[in-house]
């Protein structure tokens, strides 16, 4: 079965999010082991962990937003017929698209500010803006995936890959 370009974009973004889960877990595990057994620490481990966690959150938003696996309140949706379920899904996805788009726009301001203010890590004095930029790219990915989800909900509901969708 040949996968569409959209499906490959979705899979790539989800894989990147998974890589950041692994990086955060490795950072925490290695830091704890070094402190516990060798009384040593990775320079800037706290800063790296904090920034990697921020990156993970934004890439996680991208992955969960497309699949519809984020936290939802389905009180009205569960009682609706198939037509209204689809209307609710489209409306909710459009609201999510608007909110995440505004968030992406404002996050770019944070990336710019850290770049122009030359914000650095504590120990190694590394610039922090690349971490913020990677998080911002995750947020841009969320906008792309939510736009794909919106398009599919409206024009191709059979292509939605979540279990909650109105096209069950």
Of 128-132, 144-148, 162-166, the range with the highest mean pLDDT is 128-132
Q: 90: which residues sit within 8 A by CB, 6+ positions away?
A: 150, 153, 154
- Domain coordinates in residue numbering, the chain: 5-159
Give tens-digit pLDDT for 97-133: 999 999 999 999 999 999 999 999 999 999 999 999 9
Q: What is the pTM of this model?
A: 0.83
pLDDT at site 37: 95
Distance separating alpha carbons of residues 111 and 17, to the nearest angstrom:
19
Tell me what percent of the residues of the chain surpass a pLDDT of 70.
Answer: 90
Cβ atoms of 86 and 153 closer than 8 Å: yes
Helix spans in the chain (H)? 5-38, 45-67, 75-79, 82-116, 129-155
């Amino acid at each position: 079965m040949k996968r569409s370009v959209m499906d490959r974009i979705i899979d790539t973004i989800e894989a990147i999010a998974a890589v950041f889960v692994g990086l955060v877990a490795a950072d925490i595990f290695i830091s704890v082991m070094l402190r516990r057994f060798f009384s040593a620490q990775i320079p800037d481990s706290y800063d790296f962990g904090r920034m990697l966690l921020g990156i993970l959150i934004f890439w996680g938003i991208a992955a969960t937003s497309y699949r519809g696996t984020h936290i939802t309140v389905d009180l009205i949706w569960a009682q609706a017929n198939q037509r209204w379920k689809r209307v609710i899904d489209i409306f909710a996805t459009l609201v999510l698209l608007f909110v995440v788009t505004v968030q992406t726009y404002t996050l770019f301001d944070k990336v710019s500010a850290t770049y122009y203010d030359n914000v650095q890590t504590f120990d190694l004095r590394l610039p922090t803006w690349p971490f913020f930029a990677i998080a911002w790219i995750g947020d841009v990915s969320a906008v792309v995936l939510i736009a794909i989800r919106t398009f599919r909900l409206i024009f191709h509901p059979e292509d939605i890959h979540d279990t909650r969708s109105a096209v069950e």
